[in-house]
C-alpha cells in the first residue's frame, strides 16, 4: 500500500490556475437549504395539519415531507443538490392548488400562502385533448345533439373562462371551513371506501328550495387534470327529470372551473349569484368534463348531473357523481364532483369526489332543504390515535407517537459516499476505496419531530487492500439514544455503550461496520474492475430509537457526518472535507504527509492543494474503475472544481459529454 503520487490537478486545465483560486472550495455537491413555508387563510388564521411534499422537478422524487404546525408553518433545513433551482410543492389539502413551483433563492425556499397564491407559481397540470383521447376517453363519453339540452351562458367571461359577473367581494374560505372539507373529502381517497354513507340511496344530491331565495355558488378548489365547466339546470321538485330529454337547458355559471395558473383564472372564494328561485324548485348542478376549450364550454367529453339517473354509467352503483353535504356551523352546503366516469378503467377514476369543490349558500340561509343531506364531517373524527393528523394522511393511524416517514434523499433513491483511504497521504484518486450508497429514513411525529431513524447503507465497492470500517455521527449526544440495532461489528476494535453508540464519544457516533470486507466474506478488491466477477452489494439496515422526540435540526443536516476508519486503526479516520472528526481521532495525523488540517481553525480533511478524501453525491454514483483518476471518467469534474462549484454543478449525472463510460465501473448496472 505504497503512497501514490497526488494527481496534478491543474494539468487538465488549459490556462494556468493557481491553487489559491480554489483553495477554499469544499467539493460539496449539496447545499444546506432553509425551507420556510407558511399557510394561512385570507383572514390570517393558520392552516394546520397540511401534509406538504417538496419534489425534485427533474426526477419527480419526493425530497421533503412534513406537516404544518399550529402556526401553519413548516420550517426545515435540508441539503439539496447544488444544481436545483426550484422545487415543486404538493399540498394534499383542499383549498390549495395541487402543485406550486417555489424557487430556491439564496439557499432559501420560501412560500407565504394567505388564501391565494401567485398564479405564475402554480403548475399547470391540465391534460390536453390528445392525452385524454389517447386512452379512448372521448368515445366513452355521453354526447348530446346540438339542441338537447341547450347551453346558455349566464354572461360574458374573459379569455381564461373567468365570469365577468363575479361578486365584487370573494367569500372568505376560512381555516375552519377548510378543516371540515378536508375531513370530509380528502384528496385521492375514494368516497366509496371512506365515506360510503355519502353515496347511500336516498341521500340528496340536488338543492331543493323551500323558500324564495337568492342562491350563490362559490369556487373553493379543483383537483382535476381537465378544465371543467360548472352549470346548473332546474325543475319542479316533485317532477324530477327521468331522462336527458327532460333537461332542456344547462346554464353555465363557471365556464372554466380551474385555478389561476393551472389552466384557468379562479381564486378560492370567487362567487357568482345564479339567481332567485321560488319554493318547489330544485337546482341540479352539472359538470361538463373538460368542457373548456380555451374559448367556450361546449366541446366536453361527457356531462355528469346531480340527478344520478341521468349519468352515463350502466351500473346503478356507479352513477352518482356528486356529493352534497350540509355544514351546520358555517350554514353552507358543500358540493363535490367526480369528473371522470366511475366505470372508466383506462383513466382509473380515483372516486375522491373533489375534482370540483364548491359552496352553495342562500339568502335566507334555511331556504334550501337539508332533509336527507349528509352532514359534513368534523375535524378529528377520523383521527384514531388522537395525534391531530387525519387517519387518511397518518402513516401510523393507530400510534399517537408516530405520524409519517420522511426520507433522504428520497424514498426510492440513494445518495453515495465515496472515499479514498490513504489519508493523510493522497491515493490514486479513483474514489472507490469505499463506496456506500445511503438512504436515511426518519420516523416523525405529528409535531415534525424525529422519534426514530432507520438508515440503510448499501456497500457497493471496496477497492482497497486495507480493511476499513465505516460510520457516521449526528449532533445529538450519546445519551439521547435509547438503542441501536442492525450494525455489524466483528473485529473488536469498536467499543460500544449499552445503547449501541460508540463509547467515549460526546456526540452520538454509530459504526455501521468495523470491516466492510466481512460483509462480503472476501479479502480482495470488491466491484472495482469490470473484467472481474461482480459481487452483490451488501445492505446494512439500522434502527436507531431516541429517548424522546427530537427536532430534526438538532440531529444536524442530513446526511450527517460520515467517515471511514482506515486499516483497523480506530484513530485513523477520514471524513468529508470540512467535517470535524470524532473524539477518538488520532490528532497526530493532522498536518502530516499531504493533509493540511488545522484543528485550531476547525479546518479538516483537505490536502495541501485543497483536495478531499471523501465526497458525497445526492444520487447513486457511477464511480471510476480501479486506479482510474475520477477526472478521466467524469469529464466535468475538473471544470466544476476550477469554478469553485459554480459551473457543472451536476457533473456526476448521466448527461451527454459528462462521462467517459469506459473509465467507470459499470458491471453492476448491466
Q: What pLDDT digit, counting tens, does each position of 607-643 carry? A: 988 889 999 999 999 999 999 999 999 999 999 988 8
- For position 23, what pLDDT does the model report? 59
Under a CB-based contact definition with an 8 Å cutoff, are residues 537 and 665 in contact? no
- What distances in angstroms separate CA 349 from CA 307, 338, 573, one per listed residue? 20, 8, 55
Provide, rounded to the nearest whole percent, the portion of the chain with pLDDT above 90: 72
Residue showing cell 456506500: 436
DSSP secondary structure letters along 60-100: --EEEEEE--TTSEEEEEEEEETT--EEEEEE-STTS-SEE
The domain limits of the chain are 30-121, 129-375
Q: Please tell me the total number of residues recorded for the chain in this structure.
A: 670
Segment 28-55 shows an average pLDDT of 93
DSSP lists the bridge partners of residue 502 as 496
Residue showing cell 325543475: 235
Q: Which of 101, 104, 105 is nearest to 119 (CA)?
A: 101
Q: Which of 461, 454, 459 is nearest to 433 (CA)?
A: 461
Under a CB-based contact definition with an 8 Å cutoff, are residues 2 and 590 in contact? no
Confidence label for 18 from pLDDT (cuts 50, 70 and 90): very low
pLDDT in tens, 199-234: 998 899 999 999 999 999 999 999 878 999 999 999
Pairwise CA distance, residues 314 & 294, whole Å: 31
What spatial distance separates the first Cα and last Cα of the chain, rounded to whole Å? 31
pLDDT in tens, 159-181: 999 999 999 999 999 998 998 88
- For position 148, what pLDDT does the model report? 66
Is the per-residue pLDDT at 380 higher than 80?
no
Q: Which H helix or E strand runs over 416?
A: strand 415-419
Is the per-residue pLDDT at 569 higher than 50?
yes
Q: Which three cell numbers stand for residue 615?
A: 465526497
Which range scores top for mean pLDDT: 15-24, 188-197, 585-594?
A: 585-594
* Residue 129: other Cβ atoms inside 10 A: 14
Segment 234-253 shows an average pLDDT of 94
- What distances in angstroms separate CA 464 from CA 461, 513, 593, one per listed residue? 9, 15, 20
- For position 9, what pLDDT does the model report? 39
Strands 322-327 and 332-337: antiparallel
pLDDT in tens, 309-342: 999 899 999 999 999 999 998 899 999 999 988 8
Is the per-residue pLDDT at 17 higher than 50?
no
CA quadruple 349, 317, 360, 207: dihedral, nearest 10? 150
Segment 564-592 shows an average pLDDT of 97
Q: Residue 588: left (phi > 0), alpha (psi -120 to 50), or beta?
A: alpha
Pairwise CA distance, residues 255 & 652, whole Å: 48
Segment 420-425 shows an average pLDDT of 95
* Per-residue burial over 290-300, b = 16 or more CB atoms within 10 Å of its CB, e = otherwise: bbbeeebbbeb
- What distances in angstroms separate CA 76 from CA 108, 169, 551, 656, one per listed residue? 10, 36, 10, 35
Is the per-residue pLDDT at 487 higher than 80?
yes
Segment 42-46 shows an average pLDDT of 91
Which residues fall within 8 angstroms of residue 160, CB to CB, at 6 or more apart?
Answer: 256, 258, 260, 264, 265
Residue showing cell 389517447: 134
Global pTM exceeds 0.75: yes
- Regarding predicted confidence, which is higher, 15 or 428? 428
DSSP 9: T
Pairwise CA distance, residues 61 & 487, whole Å: 28
Q: How many helices (H) and strands (E) does the chain have?
A: 6, 32
Q: Which three cell numbers stand for residue 368?
A: 334550501
How buried is residue 658: exposed, middle or buried, by Cβ count under 10 Å (0-12/13-18/19+)? Answer: middle
Q: Which of 443, 388, 399, 442 is nearest to 50 (CA)?
A: 388
Q: How far is CA 346 from the centre of its chain?
A: 26
Under a CB-based contact definition with an 8 Å cutoff, are residues 68 and 74 in contact? yes
The dihedral through the CA atoms of 521, 527, 530, 535 has a sign that is positive
Mean pLDDT, the chain, as a whole number? 89
Strands 469-477 and 507-513: antiparallel
Segment 62-75 shows an average pLDDT of 94
DSSP 446: T
Which residues fall within 8 angstroms of residue 301, CB to CB, at 6 or more apart?
Answer: 132, 137, 138, 141, 226, 289, 290
Which residues fall within 8 angstroms of residue 333, CB to CB, at 6 or more apart?
Answer: 207, 324, 325, 326, 327, 359, 360, 361, 368, 373
Q: Residue 135: left (phi > 0), alpha (psi -120 to 50), or beta?
A: alpha
Q: Which three cell numbers stand for residue 143?
A: 354526447
Confidence label for 183 from pLDDT (cuts 50, 70 and 90): confident
- For position 464, what pLDDT does the model report? 84
* CATH classification code of 30-121: 2.60.40.10
- For position 137, what pLDDT does the model report? 29
Peptide bond into 424 cis (omega under 30): yes
Amino acid at each position: 500500500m505504497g503512497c501514490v503520487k497526488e494527481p496534478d490537478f491543474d494539468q487538465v486545465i488549459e490556462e494556468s490556475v493557481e491553487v489559491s483560486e480554489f483553495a477554499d472550495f469544499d467539493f460539496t455537491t449539496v447545499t444546506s437549504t432553509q425551507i420556510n413555508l407558511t399557510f394561512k387563510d385570507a383572514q390570517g388564521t393558520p392552516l394546520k395539519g397540511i401534509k406538504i411534499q417538496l419534489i425534485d422537478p427533474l426526477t419527480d422524487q419526493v425530497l421533503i415531507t412534513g406537516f404544518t404546525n399550529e402556526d401553519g408553518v413548516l420550517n426545515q433545513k435540508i441539503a439539496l443538490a447544488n444544481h436545483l433551482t426550484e422545487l415543486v410543492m404538493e399540498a394534499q389539502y383542499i383549498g390549495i392548488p395541487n402543485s406550486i413551483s417555489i424557487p430556491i433563492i439564496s439557499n432559501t425556499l420560501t412560500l407565504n400562502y394567505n388564501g391565494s397564491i401567485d398564479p405564475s407559481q402554480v403548475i399547470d397540470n391540465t391534460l390536453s385533448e390528445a392525452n385524454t383521447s389517447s386512452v379512448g376517453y372521448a368515445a366513452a363519453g355521453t354526447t348530446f345533439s346540438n339542441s338537447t339540452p341547450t347551453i346558455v351562458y349566464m354572461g360574458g367571461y374573459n379569455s381564461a373562462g373567468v365570469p365577468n359577473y363575479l361578486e365584487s367581494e370573494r367569500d372568505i374560505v376560512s381555516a375552519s371551513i377548510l378543516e371540515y372539507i378536508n375531513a370530509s373529502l380528502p384528496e385521492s381517497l375514494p368516497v366509496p371506501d371512506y365515506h360510503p354513507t355519502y353515496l347511500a340511496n336516498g341521500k340528496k344530491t340536488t338543492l331543493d328550495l323551500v323558500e324564495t331565495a337568492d342562491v350563490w355558488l362559490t369556487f373553493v378548489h379543483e383537483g382535476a387534470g381537465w378544465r371543467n365547466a360548472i352549470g346548473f339546470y332546474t325543475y319542479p321538485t316533485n317532477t324530477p327529470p327521468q331522462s336527458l330529454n327532460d333537461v332542456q337547458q344547462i346554464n353555465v355559471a363557471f365556464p372554466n372551473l380551474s385555478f389561476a395558473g393551472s389552466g384557468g383564472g379562479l381564486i378560492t372564494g370567487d362567487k357568482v349569484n345564479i339567481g332567485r328561485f321560488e319554493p318547489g324548485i330544485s337546482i341540479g348542478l352539472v359538470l361538463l368534463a373538460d368542457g373548456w376549450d380555451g374559448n367556450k364550454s361546449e366541446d366536453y367529453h361527457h356531462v355528469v348531473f346531480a340527478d344520478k339517473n341521468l349519468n352515463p354509467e350502466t351500473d346503478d352503483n356507479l352513477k352518482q357523481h356528486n356529493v352534497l353535504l350540509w355544514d351546520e356551523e358555517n350554514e353552507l352546503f358543500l358540493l363535490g364532483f367526480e369528473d371522470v366516469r366511475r366505470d372508466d378503467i383506462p383513466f382509473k377514476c380515483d372516486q375522491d369526489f373533489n375534482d370540483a369543490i364548491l359552496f352553495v349558500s342562500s339568502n335566507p340561509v334555511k331556504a334550501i332543504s337539508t332533509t336527507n343531506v349528509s352532514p359534513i364531517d368534523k375535524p378529528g373524527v377520523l383521527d384514531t390515535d388522537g395525534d391531530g393528523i387525519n387517519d387518511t394522511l397518518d402513516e401510523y393511524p393507530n400510534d399517537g407517537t408516530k405520524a409519517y416517514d420522511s426520507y433522504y434523499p428520497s424514498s426510492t433513491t440513494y445518495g453515495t459516499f465515496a472515499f479514498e483511504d490513504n489519508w493523510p497521504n493522497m491515493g490514486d484518486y479513483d474514489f472507490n476505496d469505499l463506496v456506500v450508497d445511503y438512504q436515511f429514513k426518519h420516523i416523525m411525529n405529528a409535531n415534525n419531530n424525529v422519534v426514530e431513524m432507520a438508515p440503510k447503507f448499501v456497500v457497493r465497492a471496496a477497492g482497497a487492500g486495507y480493511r476499513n470500517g465505516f460510520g457516521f455521527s449526528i449532533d445529538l449526544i450519546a445519551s439521547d439514544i435509547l438503542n441501536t440495532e442492525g450494525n455489524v461489528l466483528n473485529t473488536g476494535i469498536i467499543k460500544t455503550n449499552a445503547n449501541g453508540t460508540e463509547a467515549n464519544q460526546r456526540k452520538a457516533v454509530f459504526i455501521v461496520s468495523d470491516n466492510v470486507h466481512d460483509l462480503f466474506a472476501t479479502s480482495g478488491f470488491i466491484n472495482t474492475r469490470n473484467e472481474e466477477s461482480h459481487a452483490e452489494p451488501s445492505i446494512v439496515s439500522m434502527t436507531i430509537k431516541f429517548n424522546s422526540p427530537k427536532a430534526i435540526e438538532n440531529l444536524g443536516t442530513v446526511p450527517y457526518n460520515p467517515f471511514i476508519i482506515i486499516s483497523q486503526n480506530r484513530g485513523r479516520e477520514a471524513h468529508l472535507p470540512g467535517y470535524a472528526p470524532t473524539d477518538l481521532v488520532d490528532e497526530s495525523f493532522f498536518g502530516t504527509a499531504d493533509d493540511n488540517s488545522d484543528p485550531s481553525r476547525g479546518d479538516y480533511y483537505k490536502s495541501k492543494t485543497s483536495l478531499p478524501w471523501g465526497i458525497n453525491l445526492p444520487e447513486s454514483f457511477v464511480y471510476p474503475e480501479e486506479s482510474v483518476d475520477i477526472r478521466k471518467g467524469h469529464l466535468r469534474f475538473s471544470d466544476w472544481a476550477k469554478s469553485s462549484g459554480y459551473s457543472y454543478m451536476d457533473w456526476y449525472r448521466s448527461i451527454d459529454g459528462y462521462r467517459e463510460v469506459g473509465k467507470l465501473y459499470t458491471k453492476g448496472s448491466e
